[in-house]
Amino acid sequence: MALREILVVPHPVLKQVSKPVEAVDDDLRALMDDMLETMYAAPGIGLAAVQVGVPKRVIVMDLGRDEDDRQPRYYINPEIVWASDETAPYEEGCLSVPEYFDEVERPAKVKLRYLDYHGKAVEEDAEGLFAVCIQHEMDHLEGVLFIDHLSRLKREQAIKKVKKLTAA
């Protein structure tokens, strides 16, 4: 396993639409292992492959609160097959937009379909933090950052803050 560089705004790769994964193989599992290690080191709770410069439809996530409670999850070619009309606000942050947080409104519950670490098809319901996080990460697969859900002014402020932070 290896740590990978996390791209930050306004890196152009972050705006790319990720390509579907053709086969779940050892190379893909190695990528997911690297992504998980990178996410833990950051630290974060979710990471899309495009954030480490690989525009493939792959996400890793772990909503466990500490090292003793790790519950890594892997999502290959995830898709939302249903979303509730009810929405919920949540203050989000992003490893590609370091040290910036703002409230985003998303569907409160979703049903998703994806392939797991071994290529097995899974369908499951998500709500709460899980629903927020999976939708946030799936946005990355479409070239969308959480700041794209904000006003133009807030988005520009976030990018300016990150540029200043990364220039230091």
Does the annotation count 137 as an active-site position? yes
Exposed (0-12), middle (13-18) or buried (19+): which is 127, by Cβ within 10 Å? middle
Backbone dihedral angles phi then psi of residue 98, each to the nearest 5 degrees: -60, 140
Cβ–Cβ < 8 Å for 138, 114: no
DSSP assigned state of 151: -
Catalytic, out of 67, 137, 142, 156: 137
Number of DSSP helices (H) and strands (E) in the chain, helices first = 3, 7
Place of tokens 């480490």: 52
Catalytic sites, residue numbers: 137
